[in-house]
Each structure stands twice: as C-alpha cells, then as structure tokens.
Structure 1
Amino acid sequence: MSKSYRRRGTATATALAAVALMSSATTPVADALEPRSPVPAHRPDGTSHTLTRALDAVHAAGMPGVMASAGNGEWTWNRASGVADLRSGRRMRPDYPHRVASVTKTFTATAALRLAAQKKIDLDAPVRRYLPTVVPGERGQKITVRMLLNHTSGIAEYGYLDVPPGPDADEQRRARLEALRFSRLQPEDSARIGLAKPPTTQPGKRQEYSDTNYILIGMIIKKVTGQDAERYIAEHVIRRAGLKHTFFLGDRAHIPRAHAKAYTGRDAQHITGEYSVFRMRWDSTAGALLSTPSDLAIFFRALLGGRLLPPAQLAEMKQVVPPPGEPPPGTTMRGYGLGLIKHEIPGCGQFWGHNGAFAGTQADVLVSDDGRRHFTYVLTLSGYQQADSNGNEIPTPIGEALKNLQDQAVRQALCPAR
C-alpha cells in the first residue's frame, strides 16, 4: 500500500530523526496561480554544489535514480542523479514523473477542503449523509468526514499486500504485487474490503492510519460534484497550482511519457522487481498520483502560502491529532492533520508535509509553515531499508547517504540561520 504517516513511515521518521538530532493535468486554466518571478538556481556560496554532491552520494550508495528539490524563497535547486533505467543506462531527469504514493492524500484533502469552503461538504457531518449505502447504520452516523481526513475513523486498511510474517513473506508479497499489477479492482472494491474488516478503534478515539479513509474521501468528492474524484482533483487542485508533471493514470498501467523505472531490492546491484508499469486505480485518491519533487514543492508552497485554500480551511487542515503511543526518539513528526503531517525541527521551527512509499518509490515533502522553505525528494527504489529482529533500523549505505542529503538540505534550505 501507500506509505503511511505511522504504519509505514519508519524509514522516513528515522532519517528525519538524524536531522532533528543535528541540534493528468498539464494545461493551466483561468484560475491557475500567477507564475512567480524567476529565482536563481543556486547561490554563489556553493549551496548548489553541496546539495548536488550529497544527492550524487545517494546514487553512488546504490540508489538507481533520485530526484530532489530544495529552496528558501530566494533560490531553488532542482536536480536528479543516477539512471532512470538500469538496463539502458538512460540518465535520470528531475522532470520525470514518478509515483508518490501517500503524498496523494494532501491533494485529496485539499480538494475536500475546497468543497468544504463552498459548503458542499460538512467536515463534521456523518459519512452516512454522503455514502448511505457504503457506510450505513450506526457506524456511518458516528464516523464524520473529519475522522476520515485525520485517520481517527477506526476503519481498517484494505491491505492487499499485507502478508503474515515468516521466512517466505517477501516471496508472498512479490506474488501479490504481480497479481495486483494489472488488477481491474476499483476504489469501491478497496473501500468494501477495508470496511469489512474489524474496526481498529472506536470512531474519534485515536489516530490509526488507513488508506481506506482516503478512498472514501474520493467517493464523497464524486458524490457531491458528480465528477470522478481524480478528474476533480486534476481540474481544481493540480491545474490551479500550475503543476506540469503531476497527474493520475486512471485505469491505465503505462505512464504515457518519459519516466524512470520503479525498482525493488537492496540496491542497484540486487534488484528483485520492477514496477513502473502498474495499474493503481484501486489506490486512487489514497496513493495513485504521479509527480516530481519540484511540482510537489510548488504545490505545498502554494498550499501553505494560502493560495489554494481560504484561511479557515487551511487552519482546519493544520489541526493535528497526535499518533498513538510515544513517537520514536528523535523523530520530528508531531501529528497528523487533515492530509498534512506536522514536523518540528529543534531550533528551526514548524514544518508540514507528507510521505509515501510503494513498490519502487519513496517520496517525502517538508515545507516551512509560511511555505517559503522546502525540501522534497523522490527515490526510484524501495526495499533498501533493513531492520533487526526487534524492528530497529539497521544502517545501510543508501540510508546513511539519504540522511546526509537531508542534513545538508536542513543546513542549506530549511534552517540556514541555525
């Protein structure tokens, strides 16, 4: 499934802990954002070279391809390193769209909150008002739209790739991936499976991340607009932000433009699968979006800068629920709002973003509260993380290189004055 804030956020949280411990739409429409004046690609003091060296080190450590974007409102840096295709050696480019998994949720939440601003969705209304036959009865009355958006509904994950732990778990997961690659499953199928499972908690009691919540949000968007949710997000969020490389594939499995492969494995020398061709309709508004680091930066900066939502709805988005249990030592994560993850970097301030992962991709976004400073990256390999018998992350060359890249991004872009 798409990588989550808590359940599948371990690798990102661990990498950001190191930072904390340092002390289908391409055509603009009428309401698109006005383009900002150009900013220099790098500063003369070597910032660009420092970040580029750190990015190249991630590739050298075994990552096939990596893209990243950083900036502080005065300058921006967009770069790619490595290869897009291990077989042909085709070079990686920073404008290659790649699946960004659960980062999709922020786009979906933004669409829902735009509809809330238009009084078409009531965040505190019961889900049964919009989906009476999908979430009927007492359950549909107790669960609100807000609970779906902040993952406090108690609705379970649909979990197509969840397998029992054991020596053959990886083999089982690969078999399920192959079975899912060209599946004709629709979002409604995913919703039905998640709802059929026992609740993970009572509605509103605590945060329990589940992709099913955002499939249901997509279904609500469709119900109130009469338009497929992916199309609505493309027209009213993606195009409005002026993004050029961000889109849904819908029912298609093949990406219709130049792109990178999506690998699984320990590193570029130990590849176990390639999943760039994959029909993701079943994950839809929970995790099927394709984008680039620079597009993600533009979107999140526009969102946090108040150019996509009215102030009241942006404030609602930032009302976070803490994760269940104590956060891992050193993590910067502080809670989940309505499609936004809150971070606090000691000595630097408050940041927002989202992360995501699926077979062959890992993505992360971190943007300052005012939308000026950002760091985003997208990887083209998953599975490099390793853990011991207690679930603690074991350092790997790729992981250490990625931590260094994040460290440099914090120093150069996010917290340069610290």
Structure 2
Amino acid sequence: MVGAAAAGLTSTVTLPRPSLATEWPDDDPLIAALDQKILEGMERYSIPGAAVGVIWRGQSYMRGYGVTDVSNPQPVNTDTLFKIASIGKTLTGTAAMRLVDQRRLVLDQRVDSYVPDFVAPAGAQSVTVRQLLNHTAGWLGEDFHDTGSDDGALARYVHDIRNLPQLTPVGTVWDYNNAAVCCAGRVIEIVTGLTYETAVEQLVVQPLGMSRSGFAATPAGLDNLALPHSVGSDGKAVVNPAAFSVPRNLDPAGGQWVTSVKDLLTFAQFHLGDGRAADGQRVMSLAALRGMWSTLGPGGTAGVELIGVGVS
C-alpha cells in the first residue's frame, strides 16, 4: 500500500503502479465538454468532490475535482480513496473467474457442494455458483444485517440466508441480489482457505497492481480519503461519517471496499484487454475474461430495474 494509507487499509500491496493514465487533455473539445458537465453536476447536486476517469481512443485520462471533506478541505486527486460500493461486486466476480481458470471452482456446481452447511431459502437448494454471480438465485437480495467484524462474519451471514424469502424460482429471473453475491464471497473463502478480503487481494488486487485498493471499516488512519457527505437543509454538503460504515459481511457486494480512480482505470483496462495485467503478466485466460461479459439468455426481470432489462 502506498504512503500513509497503509495504516487504515487491510491491503498490503507493494507492486509498482502501472503507467496507464495521461493528463486530462484540456485542448480536446469533447473532453472539455465532459469537464464542463462534471462541474455543472457538482454544483447542481452539491457534490463536494469527485474523481473521473475516461478510457477513450486507446488512452486513459483522469482528473480530480473539488475537495475530500468540506470541513477540512483537501483537493481530490487521482490517488484519492473513495468508497466504491457495488463496483466491488465486479472484483468478487473477477476473483471467482480466476478460481475457475485455475480449475478450483466450477460455475455450474451447486453451492452446497462447496459450502457443506449451506441451506438455501425454500425451493432454492439447487442454486449454483453461476446463479449467485449472475443475480438469478431468486431470493430476497436486500439483506444488510450486521453479523460482526471478525473473520467469521461472512460465514454467519451466509448461514442466515436460509431465512430469506424466495421470490422467484432459481435460475429463471434476473433480480439484483446483494445477498447472493455475498454467498459467492463465502464460496471463495472456502475454496481458497482465506478470508474473502485476503483472497481477493491475492487473486485480483495484487496481480493487477492496484496499490490504492483495499478495505476500510472506518476512515481512521486513511490518508487522502474522500469522506461521505449529505446535503443539509441549506442545500450545502455536510460530512456524514455514518454513511462510511457498512458491515464487513457485505464486503463481497461492495461493503468496505475503497479505491482510487487510478486503480479503477487499471481494473477497467484489464477487463477491456486480453487477460493480461499492465505489466504483461497473464492473469486470466481470454475465455474466462469474456465469460464475465456473457448474457444470461432467455428470462425475465423482477420489478423495474435500471440494469438487467434486456438492453444489450
């Protein structure tokens, strides 16, 4: 981990940063128009700070805007740490596919073949690892209860999944599912013999050189961190520290993940590439990489969602 941020993140990455990004090209009219839109949006919605990365025409551009904290304003830059919420699900999926590549995990194997004490909601015991990852498990996904901060937190959370209502038959309907992705994280723990956090660091973060990425339960000890804010009654942004806290058992779904725009561009470049990291090392086969971009096939969508509605 780079600099003082090591005190607060569980990641211990020491790989050199890939040289992927270039300076924001102020003389390009399209980039300049995007720049203006970002500034207008920040003003309209009282957003104190943002970091933006763009991959365009084979080049990566990034820039920081505003400040990390309105009560102690420091400029946002391309190394500023942000909570990434559900972007963390893509790191969970990438870790799972690395295990598939290593022939340690089979997507169409039942979950209970990996997690012997797993009990699914009624009618869903046949659920597979693939169905966890592609949001077709069918049970209620909006379950955010806290099962502790120790290494057994995820196991306890997955134990409790049996109590969730089954909304649709397994494998038939797409419905965004945080609980199912957390269950996939537990599968990763059992297959690797590591905690979810350590496993994903070893499988994804370290090989890709994402040296400003990891997990943080609190802002304490973190250097160059963008704090969460809310909009006050006067329409201005105010720091909202409570919004930082998410239970550890939700880490596979996003939970305590933090990273920088620079690292996210590194991750995006990997997914747009051929399975090699920026240093040229093979991380994943092209077949496994493309498998993460495959469609679900026939089926419907539960409710009204902004994603997963059949738009390709």
TM bucket (normalised to shorter chain) is 0.7 to 0.9
Q: Which residue identity does 1:310 align to in structure 2?
A: S
Aligned to 1:227: 194
Match of 1:190 among 157, 162, 187: 157
> Matches of 2:261 and 2:288 in 1, distance apart?
25
Aligned to 2:35: 52
Q: Deviations over 1:49-91 (max 9, x none)?
A: 3333222222222111111111314433211222211112332
Aligned to 2:86: 102
Aligned to 2:225: 259
Contact 2:121–2:162 under 8 Å retained in 1: no
Matched, 1:218 2:201: no
Aligned to 1:285: 252
| TM-aligned CA deviation for residue 268 of structure 1 | 5.5
Q: Which residue identity does 1:114 align to in structure 2?
A: R
Match of 2:97 among 113, 120, 133: 113
Report SS of the residue matched to 2:249: coil
Match of 2:64 among 58, 62, 80: 80
Matched, 1:128 2:112: yes
Report SS of the residue matched to 1:290: strand
- Structure with the higher strand share, 1 or 2: 1
Aligned to 2:14: 27
Which runs of 5 or more residues in structure 2 are unaligned?
1-10, 276-282
> Matches of 1:141 and 1:38 in 2, distance apart?
46
| TM-aligned CA deviation for residue 160 of structure 1 | 3.3
> Matches of 1:51 and 1:244 in 2, distance apart?
28
Aligned to 1:202: 169
Match of 2:284 among 291, 304, 309: 309
Q: Which residue identity does 1:236 align to in structure 2?
A: L
Tell me the percent identity: 23
Q: Which residue identity does 2:170 align to in structure 1?
A: P
Match of 1:65 among 40, 45, 49: 49
Matched, 1:159 2:149: no
Q: Deviations over 1:284-312 (max 9, x none)?
A: 11112111223212202212312242122
Contact 1:254–1:276 under 8 Å retained in 2: no
| TM-aligned CA deviation for residue 270 of structure 1 | 5.8
| TM-aligned CA deviation for residue 315 of structure 1 | 2.9
Contact 2:172–2:300 under 8 Å retained in 1: no
Q: Deviations over 1:347-404 (max 9, x none)?
A: xxxxxxxxxxxxxxxxxxxxxxxxxxxxxxxxxxxxxxxxxxxxxxxxxxxxxxxxxx
Q: What TM-score do the two structures reach when normalised by structure 1?
A: 0.61
Report SS of the residue matched to 1:124: coil
Report SS of the residue matched to 2:215: coil
Which runs of 5 or more residues in structure 1 are unaligned?
1-23, 162-179, 337-342, 345-418
Q: Deviations over 1:84-107 (max 9, x none)?
A: 111123322232111111110111
Paired residue total: 288
| TM-aligned CA deviation for residue 158 of structure 1 | 4.9
Q: What TM-score do the two structures reach when normalised by structure 2?
A: 0.79
Structure 1 pair 320/145, CA: closer, same or farther in 2 (3 Å)?
A: same
- Aligned Cα RMSD in Å? 3.2
Q: Which residue identity does 1:324 align to in structure 2?
A: T
